Structures are given as C-alpha cells and as structure tokens.
Amino acid sequence: MTGSPRRPPQSRWQASWRGMTPRDLGLLWAAIALLLDQGFKIFMLYGLGFAGLGPEAHIEVLPFFNLVMVWNPGVSYGLFPAHEAWGTSLLVTFQLGAVGGLTWWLWHTERAPLALGLGLVIGGALGNLVDRLVYGKVADFFHFFAAGYDWYVFNVADIAITIGVAALLYDALLRPEAGMDPGKQPSE
C-alpha cells in the first residue's frame, strides 16, 4: 500500500452529512427550524390547550421563566403591529420578500456557516409566516424575567432567527476573507 494515510471508517450518516453542499445544509436547517417551530406551536396551542388561554394565564416553569400565550400582531418584539387586514397583508408581503431574498442568497452561497445561518433565519421566518397566514398573528410562548425586568415573549422561530443571525455575524466577521486588505484578491 502506498500513498495516503488510512482514515477511520465513517458511519453512513457522517459520510452523507459531509457530502452535503452548503445549500443542502441551509435547506436542511430551514426545514428543521420550520418543523420544530410548527410542531411546538401545535403542541402548545392544541395539546396543552394554550389556544384557549386568556392574556393573564401562565404556567410557572422556573422562578425566572413562564409559559404564556401571547398573540403578536407585529414582527419581532411586537414592532409594527398589524391590527387590520391590510397591515397583515403588508407584513406577509414583506416576509415573503425577505424569505425570497434570503433563499436566493442561500442558493448561491459556498460557505457552511453562512448557509446554516441563512437556513435558520429562513426556517424561522417561514414558521412565523405560517402563523400569520393561519391565525392572522404569531403565537409566542416563552417569557423570561428576573429582578423586576421582563424580556419579550418569543417562540421557537424567534430562537432560530436569533441563532441564524449569530451565524451570519460569525461568517461575516471570522471568515478568512474578512481580514484581508480590500484591494487584495483571495488568490493573491
């Protein structure tokens, strides 16, 4: 035997995972984020009966964390609330445009961290878009608080979007090209 060192055997999953393109990885994480978000919402709304809870109802989980039922008519942190049909239509149009633009970017990316981030943001945005199309607003459940301070109520889609944005920042700040001279090309 000559030449290359011997690699340890890979499981079928490892071999197929490593063979994924960045686009495939991003699409996979978009699907995972969307399915986790919608699965959790269906469980909370109908499995645990949160759909019928009033605005003051909550379940105490930890001294700093409750599960609550909040219907958010706006976007993140309740910004731009849409109480009328035209406002909801405007938010849906904006979300579709954002998902379309991010999907185009994902389709053309060649870096795994960027694809992961884009996939999570796309999946989270689609999860909230499904809510807006089905209910006219977004279902939020997680409420953290401590020492008299409250954090905004959020959901699994918001978590995916936040982690996705962190991955986008990681990619932008720590990729090898980020430290190069602006006039220097990567092949130089």
The catalytic residues are 140, 158
Neighbouring residues of 159: CB distance < 8 A, sequence distance ≥ 6: 124
**Element holding 3 (H helix, E strand):** none
3-state helix, strand, coil in the chain (%, to 5): 60, 15, 30
User: Which tokens sit at 11?
Assistant: 């499981």
Distance (Å, rounded) from C-alpha 172 to C-alpha 114?
Answer: 8
